[in-house]
Amino acid sequence: MSEQEINHVNLDLTEYNQGTTVVPDSYYNPNIAPLPKNAKTWTWINYATIWAGMIHNVPAFMLAGLLTFEFGPLIALMIIAIAYFTLLIALYLNGHIGTKWGIPFPSSIRPMFGIRGARVPVIMRAISALFWFSVETYAGGLILDALISIFYPSWSTISADLLGMPLHLTISFFLFWFLNVLVLFKGMDDIKKFELIAGPLVIIILGGLMIHAITLANGLSSLFQIRGNNVSLPNIALAISTMAGFWATLVLNIPDFTRFSRSQKDQLIGQTIGLPILTLLFSFIAVGLASAVIYIYNIPSNDAINYVNPVNIMYLFTDNPYITLILGISLVIATISVNVAANIVSPVYDLISLFPKKLNTWSKSAIVSAILGLLYAPWLWYNNASSIENVINLIGAGLGSVAGVMIAHYWILGKTEIKLADLFKPNGRYWYVSGYNVNALVAMIIGFSVPVIGFLIPKLSLLYDYGWYLGLFLSIAIYLGLERKREVKMEP
């Protein structure tokens, strides 16, 4: 790495030269380099609205409803609160590195795994994120297709097929995919502006619809008529783990966003408002809307579970076209919002990190990421996806072990200090052995193996059920043990 490039990633961020022109090498690209202070403009409001834009998605809506039917509304909200407050701790710990050093995940993982070894967790994250991008894109296509069909019934009668889907659904799917790319294409600043509007808007609209539904149901009494049928401490503990695991990948993604923060205070306050508080609000809206609709339309208990899906709720309001239209548009905006922020920003950074010469701009990597998401062909397995969901849950557990290594190295061993220049040059502090830190890879593999054992051996399924937590804490302990043993060997 040249002196010019080293100056570009100087340890002292106050001396960082925004105007330096750098030619990317095998390990460097300006998109994954530390940001100068004048580019770090995000306030707590931006982080609150980013989370507001990520939480109101169809799976989160359905999960809140399912918890309500299983445990009752009060215990369901308690489970959600505990899960997200504990998750907030991990998010803050990993978000700190992005704020302090201005680097995204692919760069922030290099001190732990080595410059080359970091490619392993980067690839793991990209695979998981692109899977969820494909899922949400197909779900968004279904919402858009349903909305068009409600107002133009002839739309759904198109009999031709394309790519294994009815033509009308194929058009809706690719139209929704294009809307995602449109938001993503110009970069993080445009995503920030979109989330600033979309996140609060959708919560306000869905909240208004919930109030309208509860009014039709003659008050909140309909909500509290639901009684949980599976209440026990083991089931509650498992539900907390499931809820935490739902957003576990965001623990790795968060430096991609906090690198733009003006201060640690901004990212902490914004995430505290956005994750536990707004998530609880959205969950209350989901629970209230589903419960009121079930009461209003006298939906039998054996069919009630289908109405935790907001798309099905949309069909119930077809007698009022304005409500249907508002709900449908809100769901489209909400799905774009979560898909861009939670699922596609991370693989854009990941691909730039993996191919810094070829994918040397945000727009190139964005297009490639969106196209790779299509290759998952979600329309072929969306309705029978249990086996694939198991694979993704295992990947999520693997990402928990990555997070553990990050936290152990950055907070305990490194004391939050990093040599920025060495993140991008061979033979520096983070080169280890041929670019790999074997200790980090071993800790990650062992932490990941525990949930795999639980997946393969049904009698040990608890290991799989609590996979993210186990992977996190095991990898912390193993990594610290291996690193301290290495320090002992190096002593004279």
Per-residue model confidence (pLDDT) at position 382: 77
Establish if 140 belongs to a structural domain: yes
Q: Give the separation between CA 53 and CA 198, rounded to whole angstroms.
A: 6
Per-residue model confidence (pLDDT) at position 397: 76
* R_g of the chain, CA atoms, integer Å: 23
Per-residue model confidence (pLDDT) at position 190: 83
By the 8 A CB rule, do 396 and 468 touch? yes
Q: Give the separation between CA 95 and CA 174, rounded to whole angstroms.
A: 34
Which of 98-102, 137-141, 300-304 is least confident? 300-304
The residues, any chain, with a CB within 8 Å of residue 333's CB and separated by 6 or more, are 198, 201, 202
Range of the domain at 279: 41-392
Per-residue model confidence (pLDDT) at position 21: 40
- For 415-463, write each residue's pLDDT tens digit: 999 999 899 988 889 999 999 999 999 999 999 998 889 888 888 888 8
More confident residue, 166 or 485: 166
pLDDT higher than threshold 60 for residue 122: yes
* Mean pLDDT, residues 304-317: 75
Task: Give the single-character DSSP code of 34.
Answer: P
Residue 380: which pLDDT band, with cuts at 50, 70 and 90? confident
Per-residue model confidence (pLDDT) at position 18: 41
Q: Give the separation between CA 394 and CA 404, rounded to whole angstroms.
A: 15
Rounded alpha-carbon distances, angstroms, from residue 293 to 39, 283, 299, 378, 380: 46, 15, 8, 30, 31
Establish if 374 belongs to a structural domain: yes
Residue 196: which pLDDT band, with cuts at 50, 70 and 90? confident
Task: Give the single-character DSSP code of 424.
Answer: S
What are the counts of helices (DSSP H) followed by strands (DSSP E) for the chain?
A: 22, 2
Per-residue model confidence (pLDDT) at position 128: 86
What's 307's domain CATH number? 1.10.4160.10
By the 8 A CB rule, do 176 and 140 touch? yes
Per-residue model confidence (pLDDT) at position 156: 86
- For 123-146, write each residue's pLDDT tens digit: 999 988 898 899 889 989 999 998
CA dihedral 453, 457, 459, 464 (to 10 degrees): 40
Q: Give the separation between CA 339 and CA 198, rounded to whole angstroms.
A: 12
Per-residue model confidence (pLDDT) at position 192: 83
Per-residue model confidence (pLDDT) at position 213: 83
pLDDT higher than threshold 60 for residue 19: no
Which of 43-47, 104-108, 307-311 is least confident? 307-311
Establish if 173 belongs to a structural domain: yes
Give me 425's structure tokens.
């040059």
- For 263-287, write each residue's pLDDT tens digit: 999 999 999 998 888 888 888 888 7
Establish if 163 belongs to a structural domain: yes
Percent of the chain scoring above 90 in pLDDT: 35
What DSSP letter does each residue of 293-304 carry, written as one string?
Answer: HHHHTT--HHHH
Residue 304: which pLDDT band, with cuts at 50, 70 and 90? low
Counting beta carbons within 10 angstroms of the beta carbon of residue 477, is it exposed (0 to 12), middle (13 to 18) or buried (19 or more)? middle
The residues, any chain, with a CB within 8 Å of residue 248's CB and separated by 6 or more, are 87, 396, 399, 400, 403, 468
3-state secondary structure of 429: coil
Establish if 228 belongs to a structural domain: yes
Q: Give the separation between CA 331 and CA 310, rounded to whole angstroms.
A: 8
- For 350-370, write each residue's pLDDT tens digit: 999 999 988 888 999 999 999
- For 391-421, write each residue's pLDDT tens digit: 666 776 788 899 999 999 999 999 999 999 8
Per-residue model confidence (pLDDT) at position 455: 82
- Return mean pLDDT, the chain: 83
pLDDT higher than threshold 50 for residue 5: no
Own/partner contacts of 243-247, CB < 8 Å, gap of 24 or more, are 243/63, 243/67, 243/79, 243/80, 243/83, 243/84, 244/83, 244/84, 244/86, 244/87, 244/468, 244/469, 245/393, 245/396, 245/397, 245/400, 245/467, 245/468, 246/59, 246/60, 246/63, 247/84, 247/87, 247/275
- For 199-246, write each residue's pLDDT tens digit: 788 888 888 888 888 888 887 776 666 666 777 888 888 888 777 777
Per-residue model confidence (pLDDT) at position 228: 67
Residue 118: which pLDDT band, with cuts at 50, 70 and 90? very high
Total of domains in the chain:
1
**Cross-strand partners of 161:** 166
Residue 491: which pLDDT band, with cuts at 50, 70 and 90? very low
Residue 384: which pLDDT band, with cuts at 50, 70 and 90? low
Nearest Cα neighbor of 108 from 269, 266, 254 is 254
What DSSP letter does each residue of 159-199 carry, written as one string?
Answer: --EETTEEHHHHHHHHHHHHHHHHHHTT-HHHHHHHHHHHH
Establish if 274 belongs to a structural domain: yes
Percent of the chain scoring above 70 in pLDDT: 88
More confident residue, 305 or 253: 253
pLDDT higher than threshold 70 for residue 87: yes
Query: Residue 404: what are its φ and ψ, rounded to 5°?
Result: -60, -45
Q: Give the separation between CA 428 and CA 419, rounded to whole angstroms.
A: 9
Residue 16: which pLDDT band, with cuts at 50, 70 and 90? very low
**Cross-strand partners of 436:** 433
What pTM value is reported for the model?
A: 0.85
